[in-house]
Amino acid sequence: MIQFLRTSLLTAFASALLAAGAIAQETIKVGEFASLTGKEAAFGQSSHKGTLLAVEDLNAAGGVLGRKIELLTEDNQSKQGESATIVKKLIARDKVVAILGEVASSRSLEAAPVCQAFKVPMISPSSTNPAVTEKGNYIFRVCFIDPFQGVVMAKFAKNTLKLKKLGLLTSVSSAYSVGLAKYFKERFIADGGEVVIEQKFSEGDKDFKAQLTAIKAAGVDGIFAPGYYTEAALICQQARGLGMNLPIFGGDGWEAPQLIELGGSAVEGTYYSTHYTPENSAPAVQDFVKKFRARFDGETPDAMAALGYDSMMVLADSIKRAGSAERPKIRAALAATKDYQGVTGNTTMDAERNATKAAVVITVKDGKFKFVESVNP
Ligand code: PHE
């Protein structure tokens, strides 16, 4: 009897402590893989800051299902072949319940088969190549995909820039670049435009003068160059150096402060499409911008930061709705995500586990990014 009393008293005492939060509940471990260093460090660092801010917000509000979120982040150094390895580590060693990442489609494509094989839900914040979520029913994203982005820029080229004869300059080693060029071209031609020349380069190339000279000789009135910011800045500089003062434009891969830092006056008047603008006056966006600036030294969040934030928030929302942090239950709740209101708009997962969201077009004016227009799906 005394023994019984003592145990039940102890149990009551323990649950009281638990309720008061005095005994730490087990955390919910979430893995993140990102390009924190290397060639596309701007992508990984920005996305990571957004994700981290979301984790801090969630934990400050008591966590999820009464448990704190523990974010475990691994760096793939922007290198090919690293992502599968570090994601395996996050799954096998750290036993994360879900994985967030990556920005670049090629690296999401490396990790997705691993997450699918281990049945660990993966959410890419900002990879736009359609093949990413085609890797299986555990793979999700919270952004639009390139068949849409390609149409947005094809229409912009034709209707706003009034271009008729284009040159394409794509990175053959980037699934993103190849895909976006294809979707863009299909639409531009369907709408009566002409693609008179297509030139290619590989990731890490620094000299584009041969390709640009060929494009110049072909007599184009504009260049679509869907690649990443490092190459885009050099392409613009070298084109201007060759006396090509025509419109050059790209997709979301152009977005990073480095585009302007590296490109200088050569990127003035260029355009690209992306997922979000800090100029959006919607309260959700302005609250986020304010919070982000306060947390990160006055830095203004870009699209990767906003999508990084939303990816973590959509995951947390799914865990709450699932009432469980078990992987298959999280997966089912993620698939059922409907009208989740985030910083980058509403997230509803379609049958292919993709989100449908508006795109924005940005230009560079007086050394600053400037919102041009918003395009609804
Ligand atoms: N969408 C690009 C890709 O899939 C990555 C990216 C997203 C880059 C957002 C910048 C901003 O590779």
CB atoms within 10 A of CB 336: 12
pLDDT at position 5 is 46
- Ligand 1 centroid–CA 81 distance in Å is 18
CA of 16 to the centre of ligand 1 (A): 47
Q: Which of 103, 123, 143, 152 to mutate to test the pocket of ligand 1 (most atoms within 8 A of CB)?
A: 103
- Check if the beta carbon of residue 270 is closer than 8 Å to that of residue 249: yes
Query: How many CB atoms are located within 10 Å of the residue 166 CB?
Result: 29
pLDDT digits (tens, 9 = 90+) for 193-231: 999 999 999 988 999 999 999 999 999 999 999 999 999
Q: Is the CB of 127 under 6 A from ligand 1?
A: yes
Q: How far from the centroid of its chain's Cα atoms is residue 236's Cα?
A: 24
pLDDT at 6 over 90: no
From the CB of 128, is ligand 1 less than 6 Å away?
Answer: yes
Contact yes or no for 129/109 (Cβ under 8 A): yes
User: Is any ligand 1 atom within 6 A of the Cβ of residue 121?
Assistant: no
CA distances from 336 to 166, 297, 331, 356 (A): 41, 37, 9, 14
Residue pair 226/177 in contact by the 8 Å Cβ criterion = yes
Nearest CA, atom 8, ligand 1: 253
Flag the least confident range among 10-19, 153-162, 286-295, 358-367: 10-19
In CATH terms, the fold of domain 28-144+281-357 is: Rossmann fold (3.40.50)
Q: What is the pLDDT of residues 222-253, one digit of tens each?
A: 999 999 999 999 999 999 999 999 999 999 99
Specify the residue with its C-alpha closest to ligand 1, atom 10: 253
In the predicted model, what is the mean pLDDT of residues 283-291? 98
Length of the chain: 377
Cα(96)–Cα(274) distance, integer angstroms = 30
Q: 14-28, 50-64, 75-89 — which is least confidently predicted?
A: 14-28
pTM: 0.94
Same fold, 28-144+281-357 and 147-274: yes
Cis amide linkage into residue 268, ω under 30° from 0: no
Q: Which amino acid is at 200?
A: K
Task: Please say whether the beta carbons of 223 and 198 come within 8 A.
Answer: no
Question: What CA dihedral angle connects 110, 112, 116 and 122, to 10 degrees?
Answer: 140
Mean pLDDT over 272-286 rounds to 98
Measured distance CA(174)–CA(253) in Å, rounded: 11
Looking at ligand 1, which residue's alpha carbon is closest to its atom 4? 127
Q: Are 300 and 286 in contact (CB under 8 A)?
A: no
CA–CA separation, 78 and 37 (whole Å): 6
User: How many other CB atoms are there within 10 angstroms of residue 291's CB atom?
Assistant: 16
Across the chain, what does the average pLDDT equal? 95
Q: Tokens 């984790």: give the residue.
A: 55
Q: Measured from the CB, is residue 176 less than 6 Å from ligand 1?
A: yes
Beta carbons within 10 angstroms of residue 39's beta carbon: 17
Q: With bands split at pLDDT 50, 70 and 90, how would you rate the model's confidence at 24?
A: low
- Domain coordinates of the chain in residue numbers? 28-144+281-357, 147-274
DSSP 367: T
Overall average pLDDT of the 98-116 stretch:
98
Q: Are 268 and 365 in contact (CB under 8 A)?
A: yes
**Spatial distance between the Cα atoms of 275 and 255, rounded to a whole number of angstroms:** 10
Measured CA to CA, the distance from residue 258 to residue 110 in angstroms comes to: 26
Euclidean distance between CA atoms 276 and 255, whole angstroms: 11
What is the band of 1 on the pLDDT scale with cuts at 50, 70, 90?
very low
Determine which helix (DSSP H) or strand (DSSP E) holds 215, and give its type and residue range. helix 209-217
Confidence of residue 10 (pLDDT cuts 50, 70, 90): very low
User: Which H or E run contains 72?
Assistant: strand 69-75
Domain range 147-274, CATH class: alpha beta
Short-list 362, 370, 318, 376, CA closest to 123? 318
CA 79 to chain centre: 17
Confidence of residue 7 (pLDDT cuts 50, 70, 90): very low
Using pLDDT thresholds of 50, 70 and 90, give the confidence band for residue 12.
low
